[in-house]
Amino acid sequence: MTKEKKVIIGSRGSKLALIQTNWVISELKRLNPKVEFQIEKISTKGDKITDAPLSRLGGVGLFTKELEVALIKGKIDIAVHSAKDVPTEIHEGLIIGATPKREDPHDVLISSNNASLEKLPDNARIGTSSLRRKAQLLAFRSDFKILDLRGNLDTRLKKLETDDMDAIVVAHAGLLRMNYTGQISQIIPFDIMLPAVGQGSLCIEIRKDDARIEKIVSGINDSQTRVAVEAERSLLAKLQGGCQTPIGAYAQTQGKEICLEAIICTLDGDHAIRDKHSGPVKQAVKIGEELAQRLLENGGKRILHEIRQEFQGRIDHI
């Protein structure tokens, strides 16, 4: 019996990325016991530049491009991404081969005295690298002082102690995957903070013409997660959003229906456009596009235009 060709899986080198990739490998091995899998660690631009806010770096694919290049060149067979990092437009030679079952998409607060958002002191200093989180935090309490926070999860947790912060906000999914849940002060409800598009989900990217790999990864696809993330990504694509735009969204399926809720905020949190839309699961992409159009017509277009002008001005002065 001929031995199957080894499958090379590309992953970022961070602790969380490797935990996620090793989980993917364990699931793939369970379903494909005769296949040998090997991890190839690849560093991305977002990993290399850690002293600037993501919103200042501009561009798309900060945590995915180098993995996609390796995939296109045939150096790896599979790329494992956090879905929230994957641009809404991917290379024409690549496809999303699978979207595994989603981990909890909420954001969480970790505070130095285990206080909730409501009970943090006046003018509390909160660390986050996300404009989406910043805007929604300020919408909830305008007295918060938001500090830029970059680095992997371990680094951010250390900075809570070393950088004179009262709290930090991170994704619940990462803490769950790293078994760090004992440090959580509050799981932030969606009515205060909607997550990033795809938050809590993994995205398994493969070459479009690779039928063998497509068959191997298809077994770990979760159909409910996939349509939910497709709805969120279609909304983001219509809004032309990225790390420079405070956009939150979350879709969930209920039987044959899907409900999508989204928000667009000004950077200072003073103004937000929030709405929801639902319909048949098979129209997930259309629902995302229609909700995006409603948000744009109800004031989102003006907010996004002002934000893009502001960031263009900042980039021009770098």
Q: Domains in the chain, start-ordered, CATH in brackets? A: 1-101+201-221 (3.40.190.10), 107-187 (3.40.190.10), 223-318 (3.30.160.40)
- Predicted pLDDT of residue 226: 97
Amino acid letter, residue 174: G
- Pair of tokens at residue 63: 């945590």
For the residues 240-262, what does the mean pLDDT come to? Answer: 91
Residues 77-101 have a mean pLDDT of 96
Q: Cα dihedral angle (139, 140, 142, 144), rounded to 10 degrees?
A: -120
CA–CA distance, 313 with 318 (Å, rounded to integer): 9
- Of the listed ranges 56-65, 84-93, 120-129, 211-220, the least confidently predicted one is 56-65
Give the integer Cα–Cα distance in Å for 206 and 166: 42
Q: Residue 193: what are its φ and ψ, rounded to 5°?
A: -145, 110
pTM over 0.85: yes
Name the more confident of 154 and 215. 215
Identify the pLDDT of residue 240: 86
Grade residue 317 by pLDDT with cuts at 50, 70 and 90: very low
Written in H, E and C, the secondary structure of 250-272 is EEEEECCEEEEEEEEECCCCCCE
Least confident of 36-45, 149-158, 228-237: 149-158
- Which residues share a beta bridge with 147? 127
> What is the average pLDDT across 67-78?
97
Q: What is the pLDDT of residue 55?
A: 54
For residue 85, pLDDT beyond 80: yes
Amino acid at 247: I
Which of 60, 59, 79 is CA-nearest to residue 69? Answer: 79
Type of residue found at 86 = V
- For residue 101, what are its two tokens? 């079952």
- pLDDT tens per residue across span 55-66: 555 556 778 999
Q: Is the pLDDT assigned to residue 215 strictly greater than 80?
A: yes
Catalytically active residues are 85
What angle, 0 to 180 degrees and rounded to 10, lies between the N-to-C axes of helices 153-162 and 15-31? 150
Q: What distance in Å separates the CA atoms of residue 72 and residue 295, rounded to the nearest whole number? A: 36
The torsion angles phi and psi of 169, rounded to 5 degrees, stand at -120, 130
What's the token pair of residue 313? 């001005």
User: pLDDT tens digits, residue range 155-164?
Assistant: 888 899 888 8
pLDDT of residue 315: 40
pLDDT at 37 over 70: yes
Residue 292 CB-half CA count within 13 A: 21
What pLDDT does 3 receive? Answer: 58
**What pLDDT does 79 receive?**
98
Determine the distance from the C-alpha atom of residue 237 to the mean position of all C-alpha atoms in its chain, rounded to a whole number.
14
d(CA 42, CA 78): 12
